[in-house]
Structure 1
Amino acid sequence: MGEHDTEPAGAFGPPEDSMQRLWTPHRMVYIGGQDKPADGSVAQCPFCRIPTRDDETGLVVARGRECYAVLNLYPYNSGHLMVLPYRHVSDYVDLTPTETAELATMTQTAVRALRAAFAPAGFNLGMNQGEVAGAGIAAHLHQHVVPRWLGDANFLPVVGQTKALPELLAETRARVAAAWDGVDGGDA
């Protein structure tokens, strides 16, 4: 081909194989850094701003005394939420004893609520401590609670941004918040 010749769009892309691909270009804004804080300060932290909003706008599922639960704006699966302290703290070992206890209790309640709302087959629970460990917002500690189902894609394709989500976040927030109130009497 000459210097100015073009190839048809069909000539690009993955080789033919048995892998089905779901293109999710909407996630490129996240990968490109949209909504990521410019620095680790409280003023830049979205997790510090979320509790100042109403629950629907902030996607808050439940509020405790020291911690709250919020849907992940860029979920790996439907129902993917995070439990985090209100206080701007980055390291798990820097949590106070009461923050640690409430974080654990709210994580348990999150699992119960997600089971009631979605009936998943299992869960991924975890914290990424530091940017090098995969924390998208390393300055504010957050515990991920990700529902999983049989036949669900394994974790690498999910991290590779190839996940279809069948429900809008506002609907998921309402469903999980209602289930949260129904488990453990709604206590945090």
Structure 2
Amino acid sequence: MPDPVVQDPAELAGAPDAFQRLWTPHRMVYIHGEGKPKGEADCPFCTSPRKDDADGLVVARGEHAYVVMNLFPYSPGHVLVCPYRHVADYTDLTVEETREVAELTQQAMRVIRRVSNPAGFNLGMNQGAVAGAGIAAHLHQHIVPRWGGDMNFLPVIAQTRALPQLLGDARQQLADAWHA
């Protein structure tokens, strides 16, 4: 991976502005969708619940949806709520799926609060690749615990996230606390 290049605005053509540019050409792989699942057979949100909980990183299971650790977390305890059915658009969920995604989201927030006491949460669904969905073909709700000062410069300049907890350990803590 090439090193990021920071460019002074005075070096650019046209009228300079107040912004420096951090060029990150390695992101083009993500933008072009290389390595993305092609369908249900290789969709991680379809294959994960077919595994045992520890191997699939599943925290909790419902009838229509389940909670799974994010394989590429923004912060410790970052989970996803996914319907079992391979569906892309929120408006295509059934009433039962919509209800259970909402209930599992609420329960995940309660459990994460008990386990790690975050100061807040980011909740969200990115609908479509252009909106930032890493896997646009299978709907998933992000639940990202947040603490004051939890993000730093590492993701921007070093393509690195500092995560103090292993996924398996976080999954076990959340799974153990789920029904407590």
TM-score by length of 2: 0.78
1:7 aligns with none
Tell me the CA shift for residue 179 of structure 1.
1.5
Superposed CA RMSD: 2.6
Could you give the per-residue CA deviations for residues 95-132 of structure 1, whole angstroms, max 9, x where no partner exists? 00000000000000000000011100000000000000
Which one of 115, 119, 122 corresponds to residue 117 of structure 1? Answer: 115
Tell me the CA shift for residue 35 of structure 1.
5.6
Residue 40 of structure 2 contacts residue 86 of structure 2 at CA under 8 Å; is this kept in 1? Answer: yes
Pair 1:152–1:127, CA change in 2 (3 A): same
SS in 2 for 1:144: strand
How many angstroms apart in 2 are the aligned matches of 1:150 and 1:138? 30
Tell me the CA shift for residue 36 of structure 1.
2.7
Q: How many residues align?
A: 156
SS in 2 for 1:74: coil
Which one of 83, 86, 89 corresponds to residue 85 of structure 1? Answer: 83
How many angstroms apart in 1 are the aligned matches of 2:124 and 2:63? 21
The answer to whether 1:129 aligns with 2:127 is yes
1:21 aligns with none
Tell me the CA shift for residue 163 of structure 1.
2.4
2:11 aligns with none
How many angstroms apart in 1 are the aligned matches of 2:65 and 2:78? 17
Name which structure has the greater RCO, CA cutoff 8 Å, separation 6+.
1
The aligned runs of 1:1-188 (5 Å cut-off) are: 31=30, 36-37=36-37, 39=38, 41-153=39-151, 161-182=159-180
What percent of counterpart residues are identical? 57
SS in 2 for 1:88: coil
Residue 115 of structure 2 contacts residue 177 of structure 2 at CA under 8 Å; is this kept in 1? Answer: yes
Pair 1:92–1:13, CA change in 2 (3 A): closer
How many angstroms apart in 2 are the aligned matches of 1:130 and 1:169? 26
Stretches of structure 2 lacking an aligned partner (at least 5 in a row): 8-25
How many angstroms apart in 2 are the aligned matches of 1:35 and 1:113? 32
Residue 76 of structure 1 contacts residue 158 of structure 1 at CA under 8 Å; is this kept in 2? Answer: no
TM-score by length of 1: 0.75
2:23 aligns with none
